[in-house]
Amino acid sequence: MGCKPPPTFMLPGVLAIIASILCLFGGTWCKFISFTEVNNSTDPVTLSYGIWNYLGYSTRNTISGEQVMMESCNYYPDNSVIIDTKWRSARAFSALTIIIGGLVTFCLVLSWCMRGFSGDRGKSLLRCAGMMYMLCCLFQGLTLLLMTSNACYNNGMVELSATASQNSLINFSGEFPTTCTMAGGGKATIAAVVMWFLAALASLKVEPPQLDPITVESHDVTYTKNQQADGTQVVTETVVKGTPVPVAAANNNETMEEGAAADQAV
């Protein structure tokens, strides 16, 4: 008994894996939005912030005593920012997308190795995954609410980061715009929206693998008795193989034959 998967049956899972990576990257990285220093055309400084954390700068002393600048993602300090409703919504939708998309993708990939992924059951699994991916597409897009929240228009961390950076090795004018621009995390989020949508479409269109039907082979056996010249008898067996019949069809034929026999008996 074999399985005949169509060439594209793994496409929804592959697209969903890419979408999950982009979603995780955009939701957890500290470079979703950024503020770039103005009035400095030589080497402007960029302050970056994410949904859950921000990009911080610090100095470290090397073995030779030289100071070097270090970058790291840090959680927002308490009372440093005013997290409004849109910011909270962006956090909630980001977490929901990672959880739902990750679980559905894990189950879909795991089902590739299971018999239940084939036939009508596999089609139902794909349709269910398609609806979940469409929901992830919506939730992923709603994480862009961060672009209209206090993180972008009233971010108290900008002033704190600028003040702290002036005490480090960074030299800048300290003037930053009042609104943010989209950074790498935001662009990854937009790419994830597209990939979730494509994964949903692929799940609704792709056909699952089809298992070969279980068959039984019928055959006719003929016995021929021949008497030799010396009086001995020789029995010859002749086997004629028939066409393999699916189990369901064979059962139906047996039922019909039994019914016909019962009618004749009556």
The encoded tokens of residue 150 equal 């206090």
Residues of the chain with pLDDT under 50: 1-3, 248-266
pLDDT recorded at residue 241? 66
pLDDT recorded at residue 109? 82
pLDDT recorded at residue 252? 46
SS3 call for 25: helix
pLDDT recorded at residue 66? 74
Beta-carbon contacts of residue 97 (< 8 Å; ≥ 6 apart): 23, 27, 136, 139, 140, 143, 192, 196
Find, among 47, 54, 45, the residue nearest to 81 by Cα. Answer: 54
Is there a contact between 35 and 55 (Cβ–Cβ < 8 Å)? no
pLDDT per residue over 9-29, tens digit each?
A: 788 889 999 999 999 999 998
**Where exactly does CATH 1.20.140.150 map onto the chain?**
3-211
Q: Strands 3-4, 33-36: parallel, antiparallel or unpaired by DSSP?
A: unpaired
Q: How far is Cα 88 from Cα 154, in angstroms, rounded to an integer?
A: 14
SS3 call for 228: coil
pLDDT recorded at residue 260? 42
pLDDT recorded at residue 35? 85
pLDDT recorded at residue 2? 46
What is the assigned CATH class of domain 3-211?
A: mainly alpha
pLDDT recorded at residue 199? 94
The encoded tokens of residue 123 equal 């089609």
